[in-house]
Structure 1
Amino acid sequence: MAYTLEQLRGLVAVAEELHFGRAAARLRMTQPPLSRQIQKLEATVGARLLDRDNRRVSLTPAGEAFLREARRILALAEAAPEIAQRVSSGSRGLLRLGFTAASTFGILGQLLNELERQLPEVQIDLFEMVTREQVAALANDDLDLGLARPPFDAELFDSVLLHREALLLAVPVNHPLTTLERAVEPADLATEPLIFHSQQKARYFYDLVVSMVPLAQERVVHTVSQILTMLWLVAARRGVAFVPASATLLRIPDVAFVPLATPVAEPVELHLLWPRHSRNPALGRALRVLRETMP
């Protein structure tokens, strides 16, 4: 048989008053029921918690130890309804956020700062994933929110365009292309070794570059999935690479960036993505915060 909260409150009152009569009055009850509560509690615990005689009441060593736990349990019980209400309203809870590596270049930090400022009791767990992995995790309820690249299944997911930026060409410092007084055209790259995005692991950027910049695929010397890796290869003079404008924030030494002629001025898109049917109240609150702060 487990002890009750009423029994714990009775013990705390007697321990603080050190008098059954005063403790009973504090609890708005008579003394005999309070005495029976303490006796039942001691029987359940299996130890004497109070020493009492006709003149005084004191805690036993076991009673002192149990009193600390009783106070902790009562505090948790009293806080539980408020915690449940805050979780239900979305102001407290857990938000699992997926992001692409490139979205960390400025955007991710801004979102996290805003969420922490307005929803300080919502814990945010971060998961670095490519878009394909994020989509699968969102569909399986392993993520709540993603920073991902299009396209998405509109029947399963809702999204909002978060950021748009230009596509640039990263070249080794002092490369001849840095002396052009215009944007780089595909013809300018006819003899350049190319560092390209992986068709499997960086499909969005692969498709974007192929659709906008006609290239000879035999010029591709390296295929990688991460923009940071691309830039280090450029710094080593292994070739040139197509990167989003936000990659300039990485400030990799010995890398320069030149404008690239594209049919659309800012073709690189980053979207906020979430499942249409989510049971996480924190997601709704987070979306309201982000929608209010997004430009």
Structure 2
Amino acid sequence: MFTLDQARSFVAVAEELHFGRAAERLNMTQPPLSRQIQKLERSVGVELLDRDNRRVALTAAGHAFLIDAKRLVVAAERAPDNARRIAAGQLGEIRIGFTAASGFSLLGPLLAEISERMPKVHLDLSELVTQEQVNALLDGDLDMGLARPPFDEKLFESALLFSEGLFVAVPSGHRLATLPRDILFADLRDEALIMHSPIKARYFYDLVVRRVEVEHKNVRHTVSQILTMVALVAAGRGIAFVPESAKLLGVDGVRYLRLAEITDDPVELHAIWSRESRNPALGGLVDIIKGGLHH
């Protein structure tokens, strides 16, 4: 196996194409440099340089080896600094899971803030429903989730990112869109409903059935994604209960109406992360979350 010193010596000779200049660049004399190259060629098993009294040139194998040797030398030079940066949380990778609905309003500002304050940290994003995020966090496959409650507070630390209202999405020409007031539950009694899946969209399903007097016989479609819901509303298939941020989807042909009997902002999104996490970069992300996003 060749050594890092041999790779460094080869890069110098390959770039200078002159043993004297390469030796000077490496602060060594020419004979030990020649021996390093000879040992390297024996280790690799092929000639890397054509050399005579007048010139030095790379062989075809030498050209190929130079590419990898440069990478190796650069990586070796960066490694100590990278290790220090990673330990300080300034370098590395953060893996973030998010629900589709959280991407409407929060994901963009969050990523912009991370890029500004942690520019050397690579972000890996995964769109997952809350339960998938919880499993990935426990398995160590995610560092942070942007998820809906409930979750086990003994296993996870969390921070409320924001809460928002629950609205009714109706087709633009719908009779409810012409009412000169907020919508009442009684107004919805005979309406065809597009409802959240009690399995794949459990958070929204539970939220709606706890807060709204839903007539289950009126449910025409059951889906798991807010975008799908809004698209079905636009197509005239029924009305749907959606978070206020669904307005940001920009789907034509849909109006978003306030429910008079819901006076708070019941739709919550939390950042959650494992109490057992060992990723140093996570601390910087938590600081951003707890400090509040500037959006």
Shorter-chain TM band? 0.7 to 0.9
Alignment partner of 2:286: what SS? Answer: helix
Alignment partner of 1:164: what SS? Answer: strand
Which residue of structure 2 aligns with residue 147 of structure 1?
146
Which residue of structure 2 aligns with residue 61 of structure 1?
59
Opposite residue 58 of structure 1, the aligned amino acid is V
- Determine the C-alpha separation between the residues in 2 that align with 1:269 and 1:278: 24
Say whether the 8 Å CA contact 1:165–1:244 is kept in structure 2.
Answer: yes
Which residue of structure 1 aligns with residue 183 of structure 2?
184
Deviations 1:242-269 (A, max 9, x none): 1111111223222212110244421111
Alignment partner of 1:135: what SS? Answer: helix
1:110 aligns with 2:109: yes
Alignment partner of 2:146: what SS? Answer: strand
- Determine the C-alpha separation between the residues in 1 that align with 2:88 and 2:178: 57
Say whether the 8 Å CA contact 1:235–1:255 is kept in structure 2.
Answer: yes
Deviations 1:7-33 (A, max 9, x none): 23334455638345x755654555554
Say whether the 8 Å CA contact 1:47–1:62 is kept in structure 2.
Answer: no
- Determine the C-alpha separation between the residues in 1 that align with 2:159 and 2:226: 23
The 5 Å alignment of 1:132-211 reads 132-211=131-210
- Determine the C-alpha separation between the residues in 1 that align with 2:172 and 2:25: 80
Deviations 1:136-190 (A, max 9, x none): 1111112211111111100111111111111111112232222333322222222
Which residue of structure 2 aligns with residue 18 of structure 1?
18
- Determine the C-alpha separation between the residues in 1 that align with 2:126 and 2:114: 16
Q: Which moved more, 1:84-93 or 1:61-70?
A: 61-70
Which residue of structure 1 aligns with residue 232 of structure 2?
233
Unaligned runs of 5+ in 2: none
Alignment partner of 1:151: what SS? Answer: coil
Say whether the 8 Å CA contact 1:115–1:290 is kept in structure 2.
Answer: no
Opposite residue 221 of structure 1, the aligned amino acid is R
> TM-score when scaled to structure 1?
0.87
Q: Which moved more, 1:2-11 or 1:59-68?
A: 59-68
Deviations 1:67-106 (A, max 9, x none): 5543342222111222222233222222221111111112
Say whether the 8 Å CA contact 2:17–2:57 is kept in structure 1.
Answer: no
State the identity as a percent: 54
Q: 1:43 to 1:294 in 2, by over 3 A?
A: same
How large is the RMSD of aligned CA atoms in angstroms?
Answer: 2.5
Say whether the 8 Å CA contact 1:19–1:57 is kept in structure 2.
Answer: no
Say whether the 8 Å CA contact 1:122–1:282 is kept in structure 2.
Answer: yes
The 5 Å alignment of 1:197-276 reads 197-276=196-275
Deviations 1:109-144 (A, max 9, x none): 111122222223322222111112111111111221
Tell me how many residue pairs correspond in the alignment: 291
> TM-score when scaled to structure 2?
0.87
Opposite residue 196 of structure 1, the aligned amino acid is M
Which segments of structure 1 move beyond 4 Å, counting only runs of 4 or more?
12-15, 22-32, 66-69
Q: 1:94 to 1:68 in 2, by over 3 A?
A: closer
Q: 1:133 to 1:264 in 2, by over 3 A?
A: farther
- Determine the C-alpha separation between the residues in 1 that align with 2:282 and 2:40: 43
Say whether the 8 Å CA contact 2:19–2:30 is kept in structure 1.
Answer: no
